[in-house]
A and B are shown apart, each in its own frame.
Chain A
Amino acid sequence: GAVVSQHPSWVICKSGTSVKIECRSLDFQATTMFWYRQFPKQSLMLMATSNEGSKATYEQGVEKDKFLINHASLTLSTLTVTSAHPEDSSFYICSASAATGYEQYFGPGTRLTVT
């Protein structure tokens, strides 16, 4: 299957700082990328959908000014958590979908801890 990477795999930051998470499709061009967060023992919660070159579409209840998403190329999307607070601590996972198929391939996830 296709490979999606995320960087970093884990990050600890202080409250009030910003953190950027990268998501890359390594062997295919991803016209659409998705960002999810997942709390322990819960399913994935979609945060936003981004198409290359367009503004991201955020799910209801997700603060677009807090979770900045950029999909600048067909292989890279970034999620920036601005002014992070302890309640933003979570497991963030991206997925990518190519134009020609409907499968979504997931990255390995990034564990964010805000102290």
Chain B
Amino acid sequence: QKEVEQDPGPLSVPEGAIVSLNCTYSNSAFQYFMWYRQYSRKGPELLMYTYSSGNKEDGRFTAQVDKSSKYISLFIRDSQPSDSATYLCAMSGTSGSRLTFGEGTQLTVNP
């Protein structure tokens, strides 16, 4: 069983839709949670990072962490074609340590 499970998709939505991306994990030592966006042939770009359970909002993006359920989510409101990319969840146990990635979800937002 993988430490981090993420549905690879692909996920296709119309422009303006709310997108929900999710990851589950099994290692209770994970304390830091991140979401990265990766465009084709580019390096991952850090979108959100959270430490505690709860919600964190940044513009159209909301990250949600539920440590009791070992479940994290990323919501994208008013999705745009430019949001089309692969979204990777990542997590680590200690500050600055190695990340464990999900498989990535490929998202396409259709105009």
Interface positions of A (Cβ within 8 A of B): 1, 4, 6, 31-32, 34, 42-44, 46, 49, 91, 93, 95, 97-99, 101-109, 111
Given A43-B103, A106-B36, the answer on whether A101 and B95 have CB atoms closer than 8 Å is: yes
Of all chain B residues, the one with the shortest Cβ separation from A108 is B43
Stretch from B13-21, B44-52, B59-67, B70-78 at the A interface: B44-52
For the A-B complex, the count of residue pairs with Cβ-Cβ distances under 8 Å equals 58
Task: Name the prevailing secondary structure of the B interface residues.
Answer: loop
User: Lowest 4 CB-CB distances: which A-B pairs, in order?
Assistant: A106-B43, A102-B95, A97-B96, A109-B43
**Is the Cβ of A103 less than 8 Å from the Cβ of B44?**
no
- Which residues does chain A contribute within 8 Å of B102, judged by CB atoms? 43
Complex Cα spacing A108 to B98, Å? 19
B residues 68-111 touching A (CB-CB < 8 Å): 88, 90, 92, 94-99, 101-104
- Please give the number of chain B residues whose Cβ is less than 8 angstroms from any Cβ of chain A in the complex: 23
Q: Are A107 and B43 in contact (CB under 8 A)?
A: yes
Q: Which residue of chain B lies nearest to A104 when distances are taken between CB atoms in the complex?
A: B99
Q: Chain B residues in contact with chain A, CB under 8 A? A: 32, 34, 36, 41-46, 49, 88, 90, 92, 94-99, 101-104
Chain A residue numbers with a CB within 8 Å of B88 are 43-44
Which residue, of A43, A44, A91, A105, has the highest number of chain B Cβ atoms within 10 A? A43
Q: In the complex, which residue of chain A has the Cβ closest to the Cβ of B47?
A: A1
B98 near A111: Cβ-Cβ < 8 Å: no
How far apart sit A99 and B96, CA to CA, in the bound complex (Å)?
7
Q: Which chain B positions have C-beta within 8 A of A44?
A: 44, 88, 101
